[in-house]
Amino acid sequence: MSAAMKVGAVVITMGNRPDELRALLDSVAKQDGEPVEVVVVGNGSPVPDVPEGVRTVELPENLGIPGGRNVGIEAFGPSGRDVDILLFLDDDGLLARHDTAELCREAFAADPRLGIISFRIADPDTGETQRRHVPRLRASDPMRSSRVTTFLGGANAVRTRVFAEVGGLPDAFFYAHEETDLAWRALDADWMIDYRSDMVLYHPTTAPSRHAVYHRMVARNRVWLARRNLPAPLVPVYLGVWLLLTLLRRPSRPALRAWLGGFREGWATPCGPRRPMRWRTVWRLTRLGRPPVI
């Protein structure tokens, strides 16, 4: 059954890491089993030279991470239906093993309700996994696989039936929290999410705050995330907790100013369609160790 599952991969690029992109594509080509079909999306930039057989899409403008990935999904047909599984991989990452695609096939075939798999991200030099790359609160042991409530955007696999059922990533988010938005919608539709420590993407250790828009978009999108997905009584609780946590972390004055500006923007601007999750899903998130108030 797993052998019959077709696997594709979506990679978005700004065209500024051609060597890393080529190394990633080589690691995908070396996967065991049936070849993985790859689409590389140039997000507002030309796509560097890629191996023969890799499809490319060049967008005239940068649509952001979710927008670029949604274009990649649709390159495999509506909601990606031409394949059963889609891998989403950062263009400066590298699949550490040759059996990752096969492990994905086996996992999805064995569990019909498994919708998303989050890979472990490890530094290629040290092998270490940052705590923020383990998508659960109890992140001290990155080698422990488990059910989780969200996933890592640049190192994951998604059953394409999930997109057909709950839709794609939220384009307007541009950067930050788009994975959690999709994860919450998937969980509300009774799909499950796994973190798998044996599925590894090598990726250099970086800080998310390297992006100039990080603090504003993290705050804005967190407000949008809550407004779109949470039952009304939980919206102020969730956002109040994150406001308090942000203040306790004592960010620099410019960072705090950008964060508060994004927080205000999240309330003042449209967030897209509101589809609050069921209380049953709230309870599921709580049982999985991450109630939707933190």
Q: Which pLDDT score is estimated for 1?
A: 56
Q: Residue 292 pLDDT > 70, yes or no?
A: yes
| CB contact set of 167 (below 8 Å; sequence gap of 6+) | 185
On average, the pLDDT of the chain sits at 95
Return the pLDDT at 294. Answer: 85
Q: How far apart are CA 289 and CA 249, in angstroms?
A: 22
Q: What is the pLDDT of residue 162?
A: 98
Q: Is the dihedral of CA 102, 105, 111, 113 positive or negative?
A: positive
Mean pLDDT computed over 137-151: 95
- For 32-67, what is each residue's pLDDT tens digit? 999 999 999 999 999 999 999 999 999 999 999 999
**110-114, 237-241, 269-273, 290-294 — which is least confidently predicted?**
290-294
Could you report the per-residue pLDDT of 92-141, keeping only the tens digit for each?
999 999 999 999 999 999 999 999 999 999 999 999 999 999 999 889 99
Span 258-282, pLDDT tens digits? 999 999 999 999 999 999 999 999 9
CB 166 within 8 A of CB 58: no
pLDDT at 207: 72
- Per DSSP, the three-state class of 156 is strand
The CA distance from 185 to 248, in Å, is 30
SS3 category, 144 = coil
Q: What is the dihedral angle through the alpha carbons of 49, 50, 52, 56, rounded to the nearest 10 degrees?
A: -100
d(CA 219, CA 214): 9
pLDDT of amino acid 206: 77
In this prediction, residue 3 carries a pLDDT of 63
pLDDT of 211 above 60 = no
What SS3 state is found at 122? strand
Tokens of 208: 């998310």
Q: Are 118 and 151 in contact (CB under 8 A)?
A: yes
> Which residues does residue 10 pair with via DSSP β-bridges, in sequence order?
39, 88
The whole-number average pLDDT for the span 227-236 is 98
Q: How many CB atoms lie within 10 A of CB 214?
A: 18
Determine the straight-line distance between the first and last CA of the chain, rounded to whole angstroms. 38
| Phi, psi dihedrals of residue 89, rounded to the nearest 5° | -130, 130
Helix (H) or strand (E) holding 224: helix 214-229
pLDDT confidence of residue 61: 98
Q: Are 200 and 95 in contact (CB under 8 A)?
A: yes
Beta strands in the chain (DSSP E): 7-13, 37-42, 55-58, 85-89, 94-95, 114-122, 146-147, 155-159, 192-202
Q: What is the pTM of this model?
A: 0.96
Q: Is the pLDDT of residue 212 over 80?
A: no
Three-state helix/strand/coil letters over 125-160: CCCCCCHHHCCCCCCCCCCCCEECCCCCCCEEEEEH
Residue 87 φ/ψ, nearest 5 degrees: -90, 140
pLDDT of residue 195: 98
Q: Could you give the 3-state DSSP secondary structure of residue 115?
A: strand
pLDDT, residue 209, reads: 56
